[in-house]
Amino acid sequence: MKPKAILIAAAAVCLFLSSCSQKLPKHVVFIGVDGWSVAEYADVNMPFCRSLQQNGSWTFNKRTVIPTSSGINWETICTGTPPEYHGFTNWDSITASFDQLTAAGRDTIPTIFRLYREKHPEAKMLLTYNWDAIPLLADSTVFNTVRGNACTREAEVEDVAFFDKYFKENKPELSFIYLGAQDEIGHEYGWKSDEYRAAMVTLDKLIEKIVTTVREAGLEDDTVFILTTDHGGWNKSHGGQFVNDVMKTPFFIFGKGIVKGHEIKAPMNQTCIAPTLARVLGIDPLDNWTGAAPEEAFE
């Protein structure tokens, strides 16, 4: 290549990298709901979540991994790897059953949150949760602030109020808000029960409050939100390969640099969540990740 051509190519690369950098949000809010059934969504009044279909990109066809256990799916969500890689394969797994298939140069599989901490050691990171396995699955040691609470809807109202105060005062770059009560209500009353559907209405309001917090802080235009779940449910369980009730899960992404009003057509499963977070956080994918971010959702 001639010197002039080299300079033109180099300039083009710099321009492209600069453009990508400008599109990265300064804040990312990841909302993880446990046990949210897509099958019930159509029959429930969730106006805020429905508005997200116009204000961002979404799919109701993201698949769980098998087995359809919470721990196994959250481990996949947090690490970007399937069960046969991370080793969480028994129903109630919270540790690996065999040696992990790790990325090059790593002894264990890191969560997306650890990768972000490694790249940004000074960043402020918040984790709120109400299931005691989440600190292990998400690697709570990398978060500056960690808040645990009871797995009830009343406790989640407290958690969202805590987020409101904390976010406005500290403006964390990365927040993970885990809401587990919907799953508990499914196990107690059944996924198609009136109680479960009433709880979804309240869940919609909690999600709206989280987004409203960021808006009131004046940071909505520089934030990306990702909202998803681990599995749905059938009767009082989420075991088994019931595609429509258990295995289809919602995924929403909205905010800075995200296409609005777009239904994602690319196939997605839980291994796509960490790569999507990596995409908006400016982190290079690991070589043992099997999923990918839905590029069609990005402007």
Confirm whether 14 is domain-assigned: no
| pLDDT tens per residue, range 231-280 | 999 999 998 888 999 999 999 999 999 999 999 999 999 999 999 999 99
H or E element, residue 15: helix 3-23
Side-chain half-sphere of 18: how many Cα atoms within 13 Å?
Answer: 6
Confirm whether 86 is domain-assigned: yes
CA 247 vs. chain centroid, Å, equals: 16
Confirm whether 18 is domain-assigned: no
Name 20's bridge partners.
Answer: none
- The DSSP code sequence of 254-290 is EETTB-SSEE--S--BGGGHHHHHHHHHT-PPPTT--
pLDDT averaged over the chain?
93
pLDDT, residue 120, reads 98
| pLDDT tens per residue, range 183-242 | 999 999 999 999 999 999 999 999 999 999 999 999 999 999 999 999 999 999 998 888
Q: Which domain holds residue 119?
A: 26-297
Confirm whether 102 is domain-assigned: yes
The answer to pTM > 0.75 is yes
Rounded alpha-carbon distances, angstroms, from residue 4 to 1, 160, 173: 8, 56, 41
CATH number, domain of 254, equals 3.40.720.10
Number of domains into which the chain is organized: 1
Distance in angstroms (rounded) separating the CA atoms of residues 156 and 108: 32
